[in-house]
Amino acid sequence: MIEKYRNKTYFYVFLLLVIGLGLIVLWPLRDMLLLALVITTLFRPIYELLLRKLKFPKVLATATTVLTVLFTVLVPVSIFINLSIAQFQVFYRDINQFLKGGSSVYDVVVEIFNKINILLAQIPYVEYKLSIDSIRVLIQQNVTPLANAILSYSVDIGVSFAQSFPLIIVMAYLLWYGFPEYERMVHFVKRLSPLSENLDNLYIDRMTAMVKGIAKGTFTVALIQGAIAAISFWIAGVPYVFFWFLTLVVFSILPLGSSFITIPAAVIMFLMGNYWQAIFLLMVQFLFTSTIDNILRPYLVPKEAELHPVLLLLSFIGGIQVFGIWGFVYGPVIMVMMMTTLEVYQKYYKAKE
């Protein structure tokens, strides 16, 4: 009996050692594995439609789904990143010219400051005046380091895309086996789990709903909001449209909202004397961009994926600080797992104490 217990202990120690070594090997590819899992989860309905409803052979259904992913996600994202990098380089060059006083932006800023100073002079007991030198110092201390970091990161992204052909092959390989093997992977996880089948299904359903909610709800709504606002910027003649589109998408993902970009842009347009452009930007923001979230989100985000706005914001910010850009996915998924675990404890375990 003692020998049997000792062998069992040795096995569990060996099991933990092997699992740890496996995690060490797979850890550098964690983001790619997560992306493959997310894409498989999102596009699996297409695979099921081709396989079950349209009676495609498994190989043809898999190939069609992988090609759909390639031309609807990977290729457009690659093109957009290249355009964003190119436009941000122009933006960075204009910032440097502005600091030297040799750009059209410099003259526009001086004109705007003069108008603001005239308004400030009419306010009693207000002696503050905007100075172009103070803005130059502010840019040098804050904006320029941020721009350098973003530019360096953008160049790294461009280089990584140029050198990522082997990774693309690995991603295609993961998707090729991910779609047909999805159900087997889920059953494998359930067999390993010590929980009951009901709790296994609860966790899997919640995490799946959160992934779909982030992609279909948060990102889709943010992309639509960013696109609407960016189109209004383009019509109004605001420069760096792709750069602002990326910024608008980020602000739309967070609870801050695109108004943090659109309203200041409208104010600047008004001070520049572009009155119809300013009114147009505000009308698009309040009539379309701000309301699209309330219209689409209830249809795109399942109830199982709903988190309190405060928890969602904290999960985004904390996830980004810990995991980088992929924290947009890691953070909310971890948060929904935590909330589900607390719910399971209150419903199933605390009641039995």
Q: Provide the pLDDT for residue 17.
A: 93
3-state secondary structure of 307: coil
Q: What is the pLDDT of residue 159?
A: 46
Model confidence pTM above 0.75: no
What value does the mean pLDDT take over residues 228-233?
A: 89
Query: Out of 72-76, 166-170, 200-204, 302-306, which region has the weakest mean confidence (pLDDT)?
Result: 302-306
Name the E strands within the chain.
none
**What pLDDT digit, counting tens, does each position of 159-196 carry?**
445 455 566 777 788 888 888 888 888 888 888 888 78
Write down the mean pLDDT value for the chain: 77
pLDDT digits (tens, 9 = 90+) for 56-106: 888 898 899 988 888 887 777 777 766 777 777 777 777 667 666 655 666
Query: What per-residue confidence (pLDDT) applies to 18?
Result: 92
Please give the average per-residue pLDDT across 244-270, as a whole number.
79
Residue by residue, DSSP assigns 2-69 as HHHHHHHHHHHHHHHHHHHHHHHHHGGGHHHHHHHHHHHHHHHHHHHIIIIIS---HHHHHHHHHHHH
CA distance 139 to 61: 53
Whole-angstrom distance, CA of residue 73 vs CA of residue 40: 12
Which residue in 34, 42, 68 sits closest to 217, CA to CA?
42
